[in-house]
Chain A
């Protein structure tokens, strides 16, 4: 189903009922839903495997698997320095990736506008696992130490007016000039779509891996479906 309007939820059906019905039609359910925890609910009511394809500002685990795969194509993940940039409060890709990286002894650097930092609860969970998390005000102050620069979109609707948005967005923009002096093997990732966060001039740089990352979504998600249905 391509949208809520295309299913009985538009008529007021609960997600629980929709999931029970679709369980009778399909071998697996892939769900993207605007509410956090929707996939967990779906997992309780489904009789077939459920894959979370994004639940509100919660998690996006399938994106994380392809992110890890893309990083692994360039380097070993253990012990590297990864920076998350952008809206880290509501950015579900950042939440899932940070959680996954905590399993690899990664040092995590965060750069986000005030009010859009990683949720304190998530930071508490990650630090309790021993993850080192370092907040920075600017990308410049940390870029030379990074192995992976993971950029996410800062959404306009988080700001009171367009001027505030453009001020913040421009200060988090990745340009070729910003990466001068960065490690040679640094890779820049983005879950896409991008708006203004990455200068298109960077697209031809060997650092730019975001379109390769996007392409990796196909085999990774094929593998996930195969795994849950075998």
Chain B
């Protein structure tokens, strides 16, 4: 089924929707093409959770100049921490909060200067890899191309998604 131009879309190019409108929840639009499945993983949606989920991947996007992915999650509004996690792998994403089929909040994501509790330190000798009552904290490198552990100074520059908690 193909639904065209609905209120919860991010279809600023008028290409229409490939997935059904949702009544309440979150639409994540302008995800970098091919990253939708990583976004799902970051959100902790494994298939065993209850959210109704729709995914469109590699949709042509004039706005992004290439392709984008879209994720719709029914009955779940993203927290700030979850938004931060998305920003790490898709800094162009936009978050739309949907209530009764209407977009009530729309915001872009920004990569914060510090990421807390979302990323595992790659260094097995780091104090954060123990049972201490602390959350991991990483500083985002100035060029946004990596993270530095604020406990042990280890740097992640590649394959960031594999370190997301």
Write the B148-160 contact mask toward A (1 if CB under 8 angstroms, else 0): 1111111100000
Decide yes or no whether A40 CB sits under 8 A from chain B. Answer: yes
Separation of A227 and B151 alpha carbons in the complex (Å):
24
Which residues from A are CB-within-8-Å of B149? 37
Dominant SS at the B interface? loop
In the assembled complex, which residues on chain B have CB atoms less than 8 Å from the CB atom of A44?
A: 134
| A124–B133 CB distance below 8 A | no
- For chain B, the count of residues having a C-beta within 8 Å of the partner chain is 19
Most interface-central of B125, B127, B132 (chain A CB within 10 A): B127
Which B residue sits closest to A12, measured CB to CB?
B131
1/0 per residue, CB under 8 A from A, across B117-129: the answer is 0000001011111
Of the candidates A33, A55, A120, the one having the most CB atoms from chain B within 10 angstroms of its own CB is: A55
- Contact (Cβ within 8 A) A41 B151: yes
Q: Complex formed: what's the CA distance from A124 to B156 in Å?
A: 12
Of the candidates B125, B131, B151, B153, the one whose C-beta lies within 8 Å of that of A14 is B131
Tell me if A15 counts as interface (CB < 8 A to partner B). yes
B130 in the interface (beta carbon within 8 A)? yes
A35-B125, A37-B149 known; A121 and B130 CB under 8 Å?
Answer: no
Residues of B within 8 Å of A121, CB to CB, are 148, 153-155
With A15-B127, A37-B127, A121-B154 known, 20 other A-B pairs at CB within 8 A are A14-B132, A15-B130, A16-B134, A33-B127, A35-B127, A36-B123, A36-B151, A36-B153, A36-B154, A37-B126, A37-B149, A37-B151, A41-B127, A44-B134, A55-B127, A57-B125, A120-B155, A121-B153, A121-B155, A125-B153
Task: Give me the interface of A with B, judged by CB distance under 8 Å.
Answer: 14-16, 33-38, 40-41, 44, 55-58, 120-122, 124-125
